[in-house]
Each structure stands twice: as C-alpha cells, then as structure tokens.
Amino acid sequence: MVKKESVCIIGSGNWGSAVGKIIGENVLKYSDVFEEEVRQWVFEENYRGEKLTDVINRERENPKYLPGIKFPPNIRAVPNLVEATKSASVLVFVLPHQFVRGVCEEMKGHIAPNARAISLIKGLEILPEKVTLFSEEISRKLGINVASLSGANIADEVAKERFCETTIGCQNKEDGELFHKLFNTDYFKVNVIRDYVGVELCGALKNVVAVGAGISDGLGYGSNTKAAIIRLGLMEMRKFGQTFFGTVEDSTFFESCGVADLITTCSGGRNRKVAEAFVRTGKPIDVLEKELLNGQKLQGTLTAQEVYEFLSPRKMTHEFPLFTTVYRIIYEGAPVESIVRDITL
C-alpha cells in the first residue's frame, strides 16, 4: 500500500488562509493520495483576548486575516512549528519572505525524508554577491525539491471562489502532478510549467512595479500613466530575469504569474494601496503598513531596496530606471513626480 502524503501549510496570513481553504478541500477530494488532516502553522497572536489558534480551530475561520471565510473541518491550526511540520511530506510555504531563513532553521531535521515543497513566497534573497530565489534557499537549507506558485490571485477573491488562474513552476513531472491535485479547482485553475525561476521572479518583482503604480495613483495621473508604468515594469522584470537568471523563458511572462499578476497587483494589491497612501498622506511606509494592512507585511518596498542594493555596486541602476526610481522615492526622498520624469531611458 502506498503511503499517503501528509500536508503542512507554513503560514496563515491572508493568502495562507485562502490557500488553506483550497488545500483542505482538495485533500478530502483526493483521499487516496493525501492524509485527511492538514496542519497549518500559525504564528501565535492574541485575538480579542484569546489565542488565535484556539479561535481558528473552534470557529473554522481566521477572523483576523480572512474574516467570514469558513475552512474545511480537516484544517488544524498549530502554533508550534516543529509539531506542525513533523513528518510532513508536502510543505506549502506561504509566509513573508523575511521570515524564511529562521523558519527553515527551526524545521530542519523534523520533516519527512522524502518531503518536497512548494513556495508561494513573494520575494528574492538578494545578497551583495548574488540573487537567490526563496525556493532555492528552502531547497538548500532543507535538502528537498521545491517548486513555486504565483499568479493573478487576490486572496479575498480566491477565498470567495471567484474564477482565476495561477502558475506552478516545477521541474519534476511527478511533483507537478501532485501539486496540481493539491491546488487545482473549478475556480482556481492551475497551469504547470517547468520554468520555476521565471514564476518566482515574476512574483517578487511585480510588487516593486505595483509600488510605482500606487505612486502614480496617489498623484492622480490616471490610466494612461499606469499602463506605461506596467509596460515598463514588465520590460524591467524580463530584463532582470534574463540578465541574472539566463534560463528564464519569455513565454513565462505571458502566464498568469507574469502579465496577468502584474495587472492585478497594480490595480488592487496591498503594495499599490500603501504607495498611494504614501503620496496622499506623506506618512512613512512603516506607519502606513501598520495602519492599513491589519498585521500583514509589505513586500514591494523591501524588494525595491534589495534590488537597488544589488544593482548599485554593479553600476547597473540606470538600466532599471523604474526599479531605481521607486527605491529613490521611498528611501531617499526623491520627488514623487519622478515616477514619470525619471523612468524612461
């Protein structure tokens, strides 16, 4: 008898909660493939005088990060990371990228020896000497194969079962088929491709472009300007991928993870929202993050900083004018109007 897969979701914010609903349902659907219980690691917080995990397990929803959406009965919130991941054979990483290293260190030695993972993390591990994907960072720390998932997926809309597409990048065919079973539904259509690098790169860099789009919105510049920013952003995403990751395929940018996600994020995502408020209020980004995001973390501004600090010593900032201008507006006090003035070569 083939041993069933044990699934653990690492992360429980807005997107992690929406994904948990899909995974819980599909695990029950494919009961011949997966164990019934899905453990979800929840960073313990106080919610109205109670532990958040207790509330989730009792009410079958995450009232802080995804209120009003009920989870399947087989999802179990677990506050202890080691307990949640112990003997898990399928790991779903969906947490802010700044926490990945510490989480992997704590998990090491506790997962199943044949485990594989999929990263839904939006960001890049950027060091002075190189750029690394978080799927590669997880793979290196845990010694397992890691795929990536990204797409035009606003969490609240996914949770409400409004139709959308997503892209999984996976080089191993068997793993790709497993992840397709885990995520694909009638309303969440999955396309599996081999270019995991391109999938993950798009998911990280589009957040920088969305900050630029939000700055434009804050200035009231309208649809034409935003369309120009989106086009220029897509070109810089493609150029960054082909310059520093030679394997990225052009076709990936036409998947849900590419142009579709870029349009969605520049229209309705948290990075756009906070950047617009930054222009309109003049408040610092960290203050707006606390005021507007209900405990969620902003990715675009941090990625903009990391990309700039990687490009600057290589004297390549002028080759990526949009990425560079976003950084200078947020971190160096450049005029917000430079989002138009300084983004063309």
**Catalytic residue list:** 206
Annotated binding residue 155: yes
Annotated binding residue 122: yes
Structure tokens at 104: 């992997």
Annotated binding residue 224: no
Annotated binding residue 246: no
Annotated binding residue 147: no
Distance CA 335, CA 325 (A): 10
Burial annotation 123-145 (CB, 10 A radius, 16+ → b, else e): bbbbeeeebebbbbbbbebbebb
Is the separation of the CB atoms in 324 and 318 below 8 Å? yes
Annotated binding residue 15: yes
Annotated binding residue 151: no
Helix/strand number for the chain, H first, E second: 15, 12
Q: DSSP letter at 320? A: -
Annotated binding residue 299: yes
Q: DSSP letter at 41? A: E
Annotated binding residue 11: yes
Nearest partner of 298 among 285, 281, 282, judged by Cα: 285
Centre a 10 Å sphere on the Cβ of residue 254 and count the other Cβ atoms it contains: 11
Annotated binding residue 51: no
Annotated binding residue 297: yes
Burial (CB count within 10 angstroms: exposed 0-12, middle 13-18, buried 19+), residue 305: middle
What is the secondary structure of 82-150 as a DSSP string? HHHHTT-SEEEE-S-GGGHHHHHHHHTTTS-TT-EEEE----EEE-SS-EEEHHHHHHHHHTSEEEEEE
Annotated binding residue 41: no
The 3-state DSSP class for residue 63 equals: coil
Is the separation of the CB atoms in 114 and 89 below 8 Å? yes
Annotated binding residue 12: yes
- Could you tell me which residues are annotated as the binding site? 11-16, 43, 99, 122, 155, 270-271, 297, 299
- Could you tell me which residues are annotated as the binding site for substrate? 122, 270-271
- Could you tell me which residues are annotated as the binding site for NAD(+)? 11-16, 43, 99, 155, 270, 297, 299
